[in-house]
Amino acid sequence: MPKDPIGMLGRMNAASLMMITPEFFKVRRLRAKGAAKISETPARFAMKPERMTLDGVDIRFARAGNPNGPTVLFLSPLPQSILCYDKVWDALANDANLVALDLPGFGRSAGDMSFMTFEAQSAFLEKFVSKMSLTDIHIVAPDIAMPVALHYVIHRNHKAASILVGDGPGILPSDNGSLVTKIIHSGFWRSMVNMTGPRAFIAGAIQLGYLHYSPSAEEVADYVASYKGRISQVSRWFKHYPEGSKAIDPHLDTLEVPVHVFWADQDAFLTTDNAERLHKRLPKSALTIFENCGHFCYQDKGQEFTYLVRNWITGGYHLGTTYG
């Protein structure tokens, strides 16, 4: 078992970034004792990832659960992988037909710079859904997966019954935290992120993203392996995401797919203002703001997040009283 997947240099570089990130000091004050520290307790993952080649790309995915239940498709966030859903995955296994995908270019799936647009990701998602013969799916898509899910239901021949999105881009203007703003708008800061590498990138995300949760060493090691050698690809994704959102934002007011918007009230990367504006514009949407919660709410408030997903997929998504 990896005891310290971040390492001393990664921690030092992350600490330097945190010192110039104002949101870090607020998150640190609110953090529960012992949270955001890497745990050496064995992970014992319930999720058992597989691999396949699709459209010439080697991808990692997982499947499990109840084939007679509603289908839930989890898409990987950044800088994590599908393993971040492990506890939610295990809790839903009796209720739902479960599928998870590391999006190409993210997580442990292959994928070069050609996949670093919302359009390319949603095109690949359409192929994956077809390959897996999925229908009436509920797509769980936080963070960088959020615009992929939105683009998919807006521009593709989608098979979604609903989507659950949050803590990511898509609405314009995007109200971003200071670190995200730096990476989007500054070539210097993108160079700094590239130079410090995946360990510092992930260590910084852990420090900013959790108020309660402590990831296991095995989990963090998977994230480090996910982004080894391709942080520059990820930083360029940030540069282009405001432009990519132009293909989503004009269509929000007429989107007929039910959407559950979820957000963390202490999100240090994208503020809850994004959630509230998104909810107001979507014709069929519900809104959940997790209180006293960091950016990675599917882990930081894991039980509440599991309840949200279970309630939504078992009927909440098509009940008119859910919206508003």
Give residues with Cβ within 8 angstroms of 94, minimum separation 6: 65, 66, 69
* Residues 281-316 pLDDT 10s: 999 999 999 999 999 999 999 999 999 999 999 998
H-run or E-run covering 241: helix 231-244
Q: Angle 99-105-109 (CA atoms, 0-180°, nearest 5)?
A: 45
Complete edge-to-edge strand list for the sheet that includes strand 97-101: 50-54, 57-65, 97-101, 71-75, 137-142, 160-166, 259-264, 285-290
Is the pTM value of this prediction over 0.85?
yes
Task: Collect the ranges in the chain with pLDDT lower than 70.
Answer: 1-2, 319-324
pLDDT of residue 324: 44
Q: Which residue, 280, 269, 250, is CA-closest to 79?
A: 269
Q: What is the DSSP string of 166-202?
A: ESS--SSS--B-HHHHHHHH-HHHHHHHHHHHHHHHH
Angle between helical axes of 178-185 and 22-30 (0-180°, round to 10)? 150
pLDDT of residue 316: 87
Q: Which domains does the chain have, with CATH numbers?
A: 7-318 (3.40.50.1820)
pLDDT of residue 322: 46
* Residues 112-129 pLDDT 10s: 999 999 999 999 999 999
153's tokens: 């239901």
**Which of helix, strand or coil describes residue 319?**
coil
Answer for the pair 272, 202: CB distance below 8 angstroms, yes or no.
no
Number of other residues whose CB lies within 10 A of the CB of residue 250: 11
pLDDT of residue 319: 61
pLDDT of residue 323: 45
Q: Could you say which DSSP state residue 253 is in?
A: G
